[in-house]
Amino acid sequence: MNKNLLIILIVVGVLVLTGIGFALWSNYNSFQVVDQNENQEITNVPNQNTAQPQVSLPTVLTDSKTSPYISTVVVSGTVNPNGAITTYWYEYGQTSSLGLKTSSYLVGSGYTNFYTPAYITGLLSNTDYYFRLNANNLVGTVNGQIYTFKTNNTPPPSGIAPTINTSQATNIEKTTVNLNGQINPNNSITTYWFEYGTTSNLGIVTSFQTSNNSNSLLNVLASVSGLQPATKYYFRVNAQNQFGTVNGQILNFTTNGPADATAPTVKSNSVTAITSSSAKLNASVNPNGAATTYWYEYSTNSLLSLLSSTLEQSLNGNSSAFNVSVDVKNLTSNTKYYVRIVANNQYGTVRGEIVSFTTKK
């Protein structure tokens, strides 16, 4: 055979085998279930990516467009909290060194871009000013780009930030709820939204809605879905107009239960009543809402090869942990055994941590 042809065939063979190996490795890893429950192995559970975005510095964007008047100005921008409770404010002054700043406003947390208006007063007429937007969360402070505006002789608008009140949640179901609040736009077009989450840090934001420019109390709501059953949630209403951002008080509600059924939870406990030929195997099993069977696996091999199993026992679909025990006999004296609890329901099979014991002489 031609020497060059032989070399080419060898290279092609290596590439093919490498490709097959990579495919097998990828296939294995794509279905591998990571144990996340203290020494428990869960099988037959869909592989899902539940990773949450990392908390990071807020993202700040100063808007160069302004609405200046004789002694005031409306400035704006956007801030993304990037997962942590965030406040924003503006710095301003007659030089690029700035030196003055507005009050701070709270925009909450989450990963949504928030509009960030502010109404700056007490300015000199026909004067150039520099300004920028700033934001801070637990990770740190970010300063936006500096822009300029010039006041003029136009009389300023009259108005104040909205008045708001968070109201009790209604139509609470297992996975849905109506979040309620009241806002008074105080004669300015007003944007409002709700925040909610499983802690008082909130973190999830509903869509932004716009009210009219009335001067009366308006009832507002947001219908929320995708909640977890039997779970406590916190929420509040927020609103803003050109004169500022306001946050309502935080209230809470609990969704209806029971929680959706899941694979059982198990815990192997110490073996008791050990004799030369018998022992009592102990554990706890939580069916987590679905009819569950359980049994013990035991062996003289630490890898539980050539294992023996007890008879399967049944538990109802409760959501409480049951203490379960089984007596095993015909053991060999003065021998070390390894044992673990196993439980199964329609959502998966779970194996507990392995514990050991030694029979008496």
Domains of the chain: 57-149 (2.60.40.10), 161-252 (2.60.40.10), 263-356 (2.60.40.10)
For residue 22, what pLDDT is reported? 36
pTM beyond 0.75: the answer is no
For residue 125, what pLDDT is reported? 97
For residue 109, what pLDDT is reported? 84
Between 230 and 168, the higher pLDDT residue: 168
Mean pLDDT of 117-139: 96
Cα separation of 300 and 334, whole Å? 11
Residue 7 has pLDDT above 50, yes or no: no
For residue range 218-260, list pLDDT tens digits in order: 999 999 999 999 899 999 999 999 888 899 999 999 999 877 7
Residue 299 has pLDDT above 80, yes or no: yes
Residue 1 has pLDDT above 80, yes or no: no
Cα separation of 165 and 194, whole Å? 11
Cα separation of 63 and 75, whole Å? 7
For residue range 136-151, list pLDDT tens digits in order: 999 999 999 999 999 9
For 188, the token pair is: 């300015």
For residue 52, what pLDDT is reported? 55
Q: What share of the chain is helix, strand, coil (3-state, %, to 5)?
A: 10, 45, 50
Confidence of residue 317 (pLDDT cuts 50, 70, 90): confident
Cα separation of 333 and 361, whole Å? 5
For residue 344, what pLDDT is reported? 97
Taking the CA atoms of residue 180, residue 181, residue 185 and residue 186 in that order, the dihedral angle to the nearest 10 degrees is 160
For residue range 56-84, list pLDDT tens digits in order: 999 999 999 999 999 999 999 999 999 99
Q: Are 285 and 264 in contact (CB under 8 A)?
A: yes
Residue 20 has pLDDT above 50, yes or no: no
Q: Which of 105, 91, 99 is nearest to 144 (CA)?
A: 91
Mean pLDDT of 312-335: 93
